Amino acid sequence: MFEWIWDWWMALLMYLGFKCHYKILLTGLDNSGKSTLLHMLADEPKAQRLENPPGIRATFGEQLIFDEFHIHVYDLGGMPLPGGNFKAQLPTFDAIIFLIDATDKARFGEAKEWMKPILEDVRIPEIPILILANKIDRPNAVDEHEIIFQFGLEEMCTGKEASLPERPLEVFMTSIVARQGYGQGFKWLQQRLRE
């Protein structure tokens, strides 16, 4: 019942011209699926692609509208290890999406080091973090429990349905090319941003 009321209210706000704007950081190591995800999102029937703001190269971001959410997604993969200017920009984001290649166990340590400054940044304690463990369509992909263990997230995951006072952080297993799992992750993130 509550979901129906919420959907009706958001539809009314959209009709009246209200949009929710969110700036989302999309990051992770190279070959984790960031560019593929951006292309998939831009090709969704509900998505409307907008021009990037001045100074943002097309390879770094997309502006998309999904339902009532107007999001600026910035792909910072392939950059040097987070620090300096990257770290200074973290508080300007409303959410962070971190992609992991669930088949590349040899690079889990490197991906964990990439994620570490984000998780330890005391200036962003409430920013939701969505972790997408990608490529689960491949036979050598590890499962969700292994991702949580390898990345030391046992005490950080807040639950897929939970609404808790601490920073929302959750892992979703995905196959971007098979269009699996990331939809649930985005619904989770959308709900956390609404709270």
Q: Are 188 and 170 in contact (CB under 8 A)?
A: yes
| Annotated binding-site residue? 177 | yes
The answer to whether 31 is annotated as binding is yes
User: Is residue 136 a known part of a binding site?
Assistant: yes
Confirm whether residue 135 is marked as ligand binding: yes
d(CA 96, CA 127): 7
> Is 32 assigned a ligand-binding role in the annotation?
yes
Flag whether 35 is marked binding. Answer: yes
30 is in an annotated binding site: yes
Q: Is 34 annotated as a binding residue?
A: yes
- Laid out side by side, the sheet with 169-173 consists of 48-50, 61-66, 69-75, 20-28, 95-101, 129-134, 169-173
Determine whether the annotation assigns residue 28 to a binding site: yes
Helices (H), 55-107: 84-89
Q: Is 158 known as a binding-site position?
A: no
| Annotated binding residue 160 | no
Q: Count CA atoms within 13 Å of residue 62 on its CB side.
A: 18
- Nearest in space to 34 (alpha carbons), one of 160, 157, 107, 132: 132
Is 36 assigned a ligand-binding role in the annotation?
yes
Establish whether 12 is an annotated binding residue: no
Q: E strands, the chain, where? A: 20-28, 48-50, 61-66, 69-75, 95-101, 129-134, 169-173
If one counts every other C-beta atom within 10 angstroms of the C-beta of residue 74, the result is 19
Binding-site entries: 28-36, 78, 134-137, 176-177
Binding-site entries for GTP: 28-36, 78, 134-137, 176-177
Binding-site entries for Mg(2+): 30, 35
